[in-house]
């Protein structure tokens, strides 16, 4: 066990060094989100090449905790009032995500049903549905397991979709020049060490509580909710130092990159190709939906694009923060969508396909 622990520690340290080198290179090249995209790409490439990469859970949790605490500082009373007036747009975003995920899953089933002869129809139906759902990868994989789906294909689909969205959108936004459109900056900009320590204590307690309750993304959501509550109450303890935010992005990028193992590209290549194609179509559809919402709300199109895109909440919120693209609106849209999808996607599956798996 000691030997395994030492080997694991070496892998973690080596992976972090590779990630840091990739981040430094991306900073020098002025790429978007260098501290997340650099580690994500480098780690995924090394992992698929058979390299001994490894992510450490507590570091990933600390990264999500840091990002959640930093994002909560944007939710001033003025911003909350603005978001409250967008309740109808948030509901539309939830309905859009559910409908789009169902259509994506139905398309996957239609494309692959004639070819996957060794997979029962009920299993392929569940696999396609949960692979297409726009939600958190781990939670969708768990829900799909309960419905007797092929969890390897579901997990691979979400990992690939997240990689494509996380890399494509920031590059597109930077090259287009669409950045620096934040409605309001964070309420606290000065770092105070005593205030930072107290905020870490409070947000950490919130994260631990969410983890004990078994909630999704507990370290992100718990820290975010506590930080939001403090900011909404006018309590400004401290800003989060930029080096901490950069380190958080790095470990999050690593945690995403290590999902891609050497056998990933050999896992049903036709299935992965269709997921990649479908993801590009999803992004285009979300861009059109965001344009319609922008016309109705008067908010910047790019902010609503990040809020409705089929990416992960942490990754899209980081993109909004780094590129200054309406952090509170993006976070609110993504959080509400995540909660709704986690609550509704399972019951909707049983309602839409009552005979599947029975």
Q: pLDDT tens digits for 62-72?
A: 999 999 998 88
pLDDT at 112 over 50: yes
> What confidence score (pLDDT) does residue 2 get?
43
> What confidence score (pLDDT) does residue 246 get?
93
Mind listing the pLDDT tens digit for each residue in 276-306? 999 999 999 999 999 999 999 888 898 899 9
Mean pLDDT of the chain: 87
Token reading at 294: 């922008």
Q: What mean pLDDT do residues 51-59 have?
A: 90
Mind listing the pLDDT tens digit for each residue in 207-258? 999 999 887 788 988 999 999 999 988 888 888 999 999 999 999 999 888 8
Q: What are the residue boundaries of the structural domains of the chain, listed by start?
A: 2-47+54-352
Q: What mean pLDDT do residues 96-104 have?
A: 94
Mind listing the pLDDT tens digit for each residue in 165-177? 988 988 888 777 6
pTM, whole model, 2 decimals? 0.83
User: Cα separation of 245 and 229, whole Å?
Assistant: 20
Q: What mean pLDDT do residues 322-342 have?
A: 85
pLDDT at 3 over 50: no
What is 2-47+54-352's CATH number, 3.30.1360, 1.20.1530, 3.40.50, 2.30.30? 1.20.1530
pLDDT at 118 over 80: no
User: Cα separation of 212 and 223, whole Å?
Assistant: 14
């Amino acid at each position: 066990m000691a030997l395994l622990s030492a080997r694991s520690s070496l892998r973690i340290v080596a992976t972090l060094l590779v990630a840091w080198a990739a981040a430094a290179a991306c900073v020098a090249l002025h790429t978007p989100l260098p501290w997340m995209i650099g580690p994500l790409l480098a780690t995924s490439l090394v992992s698929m090449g058979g390299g001994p990469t490894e992510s450490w859970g507590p570091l990933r949790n600390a990264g999500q905790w840091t990002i959640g605490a930093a994002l909560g500082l944007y939710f001033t009373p003025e911003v909350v009032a603005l978001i409250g007036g967008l309740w109808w747009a948030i509901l539309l975003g939830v309905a859009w995500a559910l409908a789009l995920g169902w259509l994506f899953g139905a398309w996957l089933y239609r494309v692959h049903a004639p070819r996957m002869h060794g997979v029962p129809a009920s299993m392929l139906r569940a696999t396609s549905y949960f692979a297409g759902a726009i939600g958190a990868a781990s939670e969708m994989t768990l829900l799909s397991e309960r419905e007797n789906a092929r969890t390897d294909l579901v997990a691979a689909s979400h990992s690939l979709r997240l990689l494509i969205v996380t890399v494509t959108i920031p590059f597109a936004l930077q090259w287009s020049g669409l950045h620096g459109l934040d409605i309001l900056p964070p309420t606290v900009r000065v770092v105070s060490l005593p205030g930072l320590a107290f905020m870490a204590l409070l947000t950490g307690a919130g994260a631990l509580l969410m983890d004990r309750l078994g909630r999704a993304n507990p370290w992100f959501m718990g820290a975010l909710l506590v930080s939001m509550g403090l900011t909404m109450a006018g309590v400004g303890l401290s800003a989060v130092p930029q080096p901490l935010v950069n380190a958080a992005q790095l470990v999050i990028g690593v945690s995403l990159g290590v999902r891609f193992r050497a056998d990933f590209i050999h896992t049903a290549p036709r299935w992965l190709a269709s997921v990649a194609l479908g993801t590009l179509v999803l992004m285009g559809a979300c861009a059109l939906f965001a344009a319609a919402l922008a016309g109705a709300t008067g908010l910047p199109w790019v902010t609503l694009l990040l809020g409705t895109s089929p990416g992960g909440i942490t990754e899209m919120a980081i993109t909004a923060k780094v590129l200054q693209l309406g952090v509170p609106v993006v976070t609110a849209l993504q959080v509400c969508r995540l909660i709704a999808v986690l609550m509704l996607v399972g019951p909707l599956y049983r309602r839409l396909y009552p005979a599947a798996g029975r």
